[in-house]
Structure 1
């Protein structure tokens, strides 16, 4: 066993929550090759930040870290199956090794956390050993927070556009409308029209004053498959807006997986604008046209006068007389536009955006179309192939 080097300290063992405690009110230091093992509670009331070596938390009984001044350790090892509860923050300079047991912090207090300073990292995180509460970082632009609840690891990965001075994160396996860990609530029924459903199963709190993207994941416990007609492609990231007190769309920049498990990366957003983030879905269509025509499909057009496919006929548009059709070529140039479209397009441009022989019409190839149905508040897109 490595030798512990120290300078004299003033400590005493006190009775706390039916356990003894190490009370630090003097000078204590762990040198580079030193190890210290905490088998009892720690109460820190003085600077405890010039440490190298390893600080281990060990034992079968729950341990508590208290005091008015957060200790700063170089390396930490957690082997407490009954968990280490933080009532005072801990800073780690180098590595946290999760072996067995969680590091808990109050889920209603964002000022108490396990903090990974500058270059701090972690190893060994799993469902049984992680941060079940708040984790924090200083001066980073990328980090995966090893957060979760008592049963599962549910990390959040963030990447900021510039160095983030401070960020804090926690996960809640609770109903946002009625969380059990704090008094605020984020009613899943209070949402903008562009959101269909907000999950009532889980959410994350992530706070930072630097624009960032986040990546979160869902699994079978998330139960997104229980939302009617939901597919993996319909899952979106939503956030509870502090300014409007409702769920709004943050949006997705990347996504992978199926309805039972997968991950999703948000668009860039300012985390401090939101109290919570979670999964939502796009609205479910409620009208017959939308149900029967979820994408409208792709079309073939051969305007040669034979009476077959001479005009672009989009079935069902008559159900929304107030509509529009726009067609674009592969370069993104708009070649056709018609308000209140009724089967007029026959391969001839009407936008004057291209130098064309109107008698000949558009060249053969693949085109992209966008249909807006104002009466139904729906928008669809697809492709058509123009054959000459």
Structure 2
């Protein structure tokens, strides 16, 4: 669209256009087919939310700011501001928004100030130099990808359709979650549930919403995904649980890309249950399945000294039985806890407390409500 300064507006009450700012004190409207170009700051202390036309923000040599007591809402909106458009009050768009030049900056310590996409309003033109640096929100019923980023990096986050019916809001932080700048607490990346191996210390997202949704996070070469996993099948979305105050596994229902660029989708979650989200790793449990290590070498080197069933702590109502090659039970424990080191419990020819000989054994793992798992294990001495 041409950068016209044509004003086709309805002036219902007093408007003062000062040299440094367009200041609305009353009730104004951009009518259908009307266009307005703002080349100076905007202060909205009146009503400016029934617009049907086009509004553009333009400054080829500096920044612009939108302030005031009330949120302006534009029908179509274009942003072409070389040194960024700064929002000190929320701004809404209900039909279409285009990034042409510069970012939209919102104050990260005031989450009520955001660029608001209303009724599934789409956008265009986002890239590593043009995005929302801070918080964006969505109200609607369709899938939505937040055009958010930080440190001149677009890092989108997506949610499922209908997840924004009560408005969802999100932001991306290129910060260490152990030392966040805009949160009242730290998110210790060494404090995670036992189904996880590790949590990223490079970045995180904030997603607010009360409707169940899957969440898709994206990564690039600055995410350092190879420090977490060698195989993307082991990558997980993780969230800082608001009640447990630790990182928990939110799953990996799908992924695409490679270790330098890609995206991953979580299982369905309620965003408000988690303060922030990021990447983690878990090759102990793959999509809810236990990983059972079939070798035991109790030689004191702290590697496979016991029979390890990764993730068993998530199923305390379990029972493990181990049999020798003649079918004689040599071990049984309800609530198995990865503690068996190849010692007889006295139910075979080997006396209780004595080492079982090297060889092949057979295990049966029972978990309440699940199909029994069985297989072979080998004791190596």
Tell me if TM exceeds 0.5: yes
Distance between the aligned counterparts of 1:5 and 1:68, measured in 2?
24
* 1:255 corresponds to: 255
1:137 aligns with 2:138: yes
Q: CA deviation at 1:161?
A: 6.1
* 2:358 corresponds to: none
Q: CA deviation at 1:4?
A: 2.9
**Kept after mapping to 1: 8 A contact 2:176/2:203:** yes
Distance between the aligned counterparts of 1:266 and 1:321, measured in 2?
32
CA RMSD of aligned residues (A): 3.0
**Kept after mapping to 1: 8 A contact 2:196/2:284:** no
Distance between the aligned counterparts of 1:263 and 1:126, measured in 2?
16
* 1:220 corresponds to: 221
**Kept after mapping to 2: 8 A contact 1:323/1:341:** no
Q: 1:375 aligns with which of 327, 339, 342?
A: 339
* 1:200 corresponds to: 201
* 2:352 corresponds to: none
- Cα separation, partners in 2 of 1:157 and 1:275, compared to 1, 3 Å: same
**Kept after mapping to 2: 8 A contact 1:132/1:149:** yes
Distance between the aligned counterparts of 1:320 and 1:96, measured in 2?
60
* 1:365 corresponds to: none
Q: CA deviation at 1:52?
A: 1.5
Distance between the aligned counterparts of 1:58 and 1:94, measured in 2?
19
**Kept after mapping to 1: 8 A contact 2:140/2:162:** no
Distance between the aligned counterparts of 1:132 and 1:233, measured in 2?
30
Distance between the aligned counterparts of 2:307 and 2:221, measured in 1?
42
What residue ranges of structure 1 are gaps of 5+ in the alignment? 286-293, 297-313, 325-336, 346-371
1:7 aligns with 2:34: no
Distance between the aligned counterparts of 2:163 and 2:183, measured in 1?
31
**Kept after mapping to 1: 8 A contact 2:120/2:142:** no
Query: What TM-score, normalized by structure 2, do the two folds share?
Result: 0.74
Distance between the aligned counterparts of 1:174 and 1:323, measured in 2?
35
* 1:105 corresponds to: 106
Deviation per CA, 1:347-374, whole angstroms, max 9, x where unpaired?
xxxxxxxxxxxxxxxxxxxxxxxxx993
Deviation per CA, 1:324-365, whole angstroms, max 9, x where unpaired?
9xxxxxxxxxxxx982144569xxxxxxxxxxxxxxxxxxxx
Deviation per CA, 1:48-73, whole angstroms, max 9, x where unpaired?
11212210000121111101110010
- Cα separation, partners in 2 of 1:120 and 1:321, compared to 1, 3 Å: closer
Q: CA deviation at 1:185?
A: 2.0
- Cα separation, partners in 2 of 1:236 and 1:65, compared to 1, 3 Å: same
* 1:23 corresponds to: 23
Secondary structure (helix, strand or coil) at the match of 1:37 reads strand
1:269 aligns with 2:233: no
Superposed structure 1 runs of 4+ greater than 4 Å apart:
160-163, 314-324, 381-384
Superposition pairs for residues 88-167 of structure 1, below 5 Å?
Answer: 88-160=89-161, 164-167=165-168
